[in-house]
Amino acid sequence: MQSSWRRLIFFLIIILLLGGAFGLGVEFGFNNRPAVSRLTELINKEEQKPAALDFAPFWDTWEVIDSKFVDTTASSSTSTVAATDDEDKVWGAISGLVSSLGDPYSVFLPPLESENFGEEINGNFGGVGIEIGVRDNILTVVAPLAGTPAQRAGIQPADKIIAVDGTYTGDLTINEAINLIRGEVGTAVVLTISRAGEDGSLNFELIRATIDIPTIESEMLPQGIFVIRLFNFGSNSPELFRDALRQFTEADTDKLILDLRGNPGGLLDASVDMASWFLPAGKEVVTEARGRDEEPRVYRSRGYDVFTDKLKMVILVDGGSASASEILAGALADHGIATLVGEETFGKGSVQELVSITDETSLKITVGRWLTPRGVSLSHQGLVPEAIIEIEEEGEGDQEELGDPFVEKAVEILLEQD
């Protein structure tokens, strides 16, 4: 039994070292080939095994654990062996291998985490409604989702999550933190937050709810300016965006504000489709640079291109605009279609693939980075708007009286173009 487990661990590690993934980007999919079949393939292809790697220290450590480790949490005085079974050790070994990359977005997902990630991709899940990333090696709020417990409680983009129910997050992966934040609908979770400009930490008690991610809103401002607010890039976003653009064209105005503030992104294909309404066929939307001697993959406009050069457009962004939001905003700004107004965006410009390792586990691994048409790396920094909005620290009532300085600046820019 022990030798068979050793073979399994060895070949799982081989799988991770060799790759074996297929294209996904911000899109997703699973390789459903049975794990046994994949292991057999590798066993029969000796030439594919990595050369000059000494696994002796790994097996020496395994044997020391088996022979010497005492479980100090055991409730029985006669129970001294480790509670962790061999399968959990395998998952732990793979997790350690992935964490050695030093990339917060590359994560091995054991069975429970893999199931939870699938629920998140489907767009309906239990939790508090925040998109989480990593900035300066600290778990950071990208944006609270509209209409969720997190937004209602006052969680803000760029808040640092220091602890979840008292558990320090510095020792957790993103997925481990997400698993702590999620739970049964109706139960409470306490997030300890560090916020710029605040002395000490802030505690937010949030009641978990079923999260249905909102998509889009639109309205006409009194100044004759049409506003589309896009909250995410999901599978139904392109169709809803098309409908909003139809309303814009019927509104007898040539002035458009696209509000991407607090939009943490989503599917690459959705951002390409939306950009295609404004760009001629073949124009670059974004480039995926993969390295490892692979040719860059360029995603181009599908050429819907229904607007003339009379279109006047502003895109609103802030620190909660990330991923697909940055792709769309960067493409339209680089091609001179829109003016960016707001704050520097989050800077989430890496590409992940989701690879099935076994039937119940998966690996989310970074395989590339996004570049705007002008070559700006979105993983290196966020987009810097042409018009920067500085938000002064004000009380809640004062802020309501001040109105929305982002929209006010966008209106000013659009009216000046008449």
C-alpha distances in Å from residue 280, one per residue of 306, 354, 374: 9, 32, 17
Kindly tell me the sign of the dihedral angle through the C-alpha atoms of 101, 105, 111, 114. negative
Amino acid at 418: D
Q: Which two tokens stand for residue 16?
A: 């991770």
* Catalytic status, residue 323: yes
Question: From CA 34, how far away is CA 157, in angstroms rounded?
Answer: 41
Q: Specify whether the CB–CB gap between 279 and 285 falls below 8 A.
A: yes
Q: Which two tokens stand for residue 387?
A: 């018009």
* Catalytic status, residue 49: no
Q: Which is catalytic among the residues 348, 350, 379, 409?
A: 348
Question: From CA 236, how far away is CA 270, in angstroms rounded?
Answer: 8
Q: Which is catalytic among the residues 114, 321, 323, 350?
A: 323
168: exposed, middle or buried (C-beta count within 10 Å: 0-12, 13-18, 19+)? exposed
Q: Specify whether the CB–CB gap between 216 and 244 falls below 8 A.
A: yes
In the DSSP assignment, the letter for residue 391 is: P
For the chain, the residue count is: 418
Q: Which two tokens stand for residue 227?
A: 């506003």
**Do β-strands 209-212 and 362-371 pair in parallel, antiparallel, or remain unpaired?**
unpaired
* Catalytic status, residue 364: no
Question: From CA 170, how far away is CA 66, in angstroms rounded?
Answer: 29
Question: From CA 222, how far away is CA 37, in angstroms rounded?
Answer: 64
Q: Which is catalytic among the residues 334, 356, 362, 409?
A: 334
Question: From CA 413, how far away is CA 386, in angstroms rounded?
Answer: 11
Q: Which residue has the tokens 């003016």?
A: 339
Active site residues: 323, 334, 348
